[in-house]
Amino acid sequence: MFAKRTNWNMTPNRLSEALAAHRAAGKPFIDLTVSNPTECGFEYDGAAILDALRNPAALAYEPNPRGLESARRAVAGYYADREETVSAEDIFLTTSTSEAYSYVFRTLCDPGEELLIPSPSYPLFDFLADIQDVSLVRYPLLYDHGWQIDFHALEQAITPRTRGVIVVHPNNPTGNFVKSSEMTKLNAICSARDIAVIADEVFLDFALDGSRAASFVANHGAPTFTLSGLSKISGLPQMKAAWLVVSGPQQWKSEALARLEVIADTYLSANAPVQLAIPRFLEERHGFQKQVMSRVRRNLAELDRQLAGQKAVSRLKVEGGWCAVLRVPATRSDEDLAIDLLSAHGVAVHPGHFYDFPHEGFLVVSFLTPGTDFSLGIANVLTVLGRE
């Protein structure tokens, strides 16, 4: 009686099972996979955050498919601080970046049509696509002293059914930003074929060298949807506040906005208290990002210090985001290695295949892990891998 699109394999993978067993046995472990910023020991201005949710204006219902204008103006202000011009009229508020993806997929794709996604990348895409009846086709990112888009493979992956190319800027977990030369090529490819660029910028503010990468919100060279939100920018995933910005050739943009307006009007999913609090929640990003960047830089320096003392493991170049990719000896599968690291040595890491790495020999660790744990966890990983 269920739709085929929900025929997912629900059996937990071996690593999840090992983690559940480890937890059930009450055994401690160092978690190098943490991604929930609210559980990583960062300080938030709790009083101000809660206070912002008590706005009396929330007692009135003011439905607007794009979301409350005050909130959209605050989002436009976030881009203005980055020296990018966005009109509040081109912004739709959503409850998550995932919801923004679903609006975009619904706007662009009929069932069975295709979107290109980078590989390696973030594992949620498969579910988002299944739910929207969209097929995903992967294009590789190549690593050669840094990550880059394999444009030859990307072009080969385009078929008459392709409706858009997703870029994650910077990508999770590889941490590479889309370079301006890559943006130019992407625009040429997409505009020539009438397909859209879909840019996920949730980690845009987290550049390791402190530089400010250009956002896709000001990209007019191709039909473009840019997605971001407060989960990462302000470290507030529980507030469910995100957005979608439309840019591109004027006539296409007007039509895209009109179609999105119908989708957004059908759900009107953003709630009033959170929308009214968005200006304050955006303020929170300054303190949050400072703490995150300081932890990421410290953990990266510690990782490099420990890596310098051995030869078995190296790390790939990282430009931004919250993760490091380790290249490890491929003497067994990454999943077997991750299970052994957890069960026998009390350290949780993500195997590369979780992020669709093309072959064995990669582990992903989170820089959000507090410093002492990070240092101990990495030391354990390197000791085990030194014996492989």
Judged by CB under 6 A, the residue of 237, 248, 320, 377 near ligand PLP is 237
CA atoms within 13 A on the CB side of 237: 10
Binding span for ligand PLP by CB under 6 A among 19-27, 92-100, 155-163, 281-289: 92-100
State which H helix or E strand residue 103 sits in.
helix 97-108
Residues 6+ apart with CB under 8 A from 9: none
Judged by CB under 6 A, the residue of 202, 236, 270, 339 near ligand PLP is 202
Binding span for ligand PLP by CB under 6 A among 96-104, 157-165, 273-281, 293-301: 96-104
Q: How far is the CB of 96 from ligand PLP (least distance, A)?
A: 3
Judged by CB under 6 A, the residue of 33, 97, 162, 224 near ligand PLP is 97
What is the per-residue burial (b if ≥16 Cβ within 10 Å, else e) of 269-293? ebebebbbbbbbbbbbbeebbebbb
Rule CB under 6 A: say whether 269 interacts with ligand PLP: no
Judged by CB under 6 A, the residue of 108, 242, 264, 325 near ligand PLP is 242
Residues 207-236 that bind ligand PLP (CB under 6 A): 229, 231
Site string for ligand PLP, 158-197 (x = CB under 6 A): ----------x---x-------------------------
For residue 89, the tally of other CB atoms under 10 A from its CB is 11
Contact criterion met (CB below 8 Å) for 28 and 346: yes
Rule CB under 6 A: say whether 37 interacts with ligand PLP: no
Question: Cβ closer to ligand PLP: 147 or 385?
Answer: 147
Q: How far is the CB of 229 from ligand PLP (least distance, A)?
A: 4
Binding span for ligand PLP by CB under 6 A among 91-99, 128-136, 155-163, 295-303: 91-99
For residue 142, what are the β-bridge partners? Answer: 148
Rule CB under 6 A: say whether 239 interacts with ligand PLP: no
What is the per-residue burial (b if ≥16 Cβ within 10 Å, else e) of 168-177? bbbbbbbbbb
Question: Cβ closer to ligand PLP: 96 or 275?
Answer: 96
Q: How many Å apart are CA 300 and CA 308, to the nearest integer?
A: 12
For residue 148, the tally of other CB atoms under 10 A from its CB is 16
Q: How many Å apart are CA 233 and CA 27, to the nearest integer?
A: 33
Name the one residue in this structure whose structure tokens are 């999913």: 269
Residues 6+ apart with CB under 8 A from 161: 112, 113, 114, 135
Residues 6+ apart with CB under 8 A from 365: 32, 33, 303, 323, 324, 326, 349, 350, 374, 377, 378, 381
Number of residues engaging ligand PLP in binding (CB under 6 A): 13
Q: How far is the CB of 388 from ligand PLP (least distance, A)?
A: 29
Judged by CB under 6 A, the residue of 13, 98, 269, 343 near ligand PLP is 98
Tokens read off for 21? 């067993």
Question: Cβ closer to ligand PLP: 172 or 191?
Answer: 172
Q: How many Å apart are CA 126 and CA 104, to the nearest integer?
A: 15
Q: How far is the CB of 170 from ligand PLP (least distance, A)?
A: 9
Q: How far is the CB of 173 from ligand PLP (least distance, A)?
A: 8
Q: Which residues would be at the binding site for ligand PLP (CB under 6 A)?
A: 35, 96-98, 122, 168, 172, 200, 202, 229, 231, 237, 242
